[in-house]
Amino acid sequence: MSLPGIRDAIKAALESITSLKKVYDTMPESIGDLPAVTIAPKHGTYHATFDPGEMGHSFELTLFITKGQSFAEAQDELDAYIAPTGASSIRAAVEAAILSTHADSIVVTGYRDYGGIEYAGQQYIGCRFDVEVLV
């Protein structure tokens, strides 16, 4: 189990979405090509299943669609990434991640903050996805 290994597995899974221009497995100073996704650990739980060797990790994936474009123009694109299935589905890609020895299971539990997202002083349109990983 390693956080970098889990982030790498999530990044590889998201890179299967051809419409994403950039996937960051570490937090960048700024967001470049759009659409883009950042992957960040949010918190961990020791003894996640009362087994001393088990651990749970929560990750936050932030999707950045565009800046400067109106919400109405970006909403259809955002909706495709939120869909539970399909070629642009964040959920479908992440839940198909090959975790190898880094984790036992991964699930996207939901999305939130649909609309305006701020990062490094810039405003974007996008949303956040919550991901749970059991090691």
CATH code at position 113: 3.30.70.1700
**Structure confidence at residue 49 (pLDDT):** 64
Q: Provide CB contacts within 8 A for 25, sequence distance 6+.
A: 4, 7, 8, 10, 11, 39
Residue 121's region, left for phi above 0, alpha for psi from -120 to 50, else beta, is: left
Contact 84, 96 (CB under 8 A): no
- Structural domain tally of the chain? 1
**Structure confidence at residue 128 (pLDDT):** 98
Domain of 49 in residue numbering reads as 3-134
**Structure confidence at residue 108 (pLDDT):** 97
pLDDT means per 10 residues, the chain with 135 residues, are 86 96 95 95 79 80 86 88 96 91 85 94 95 89
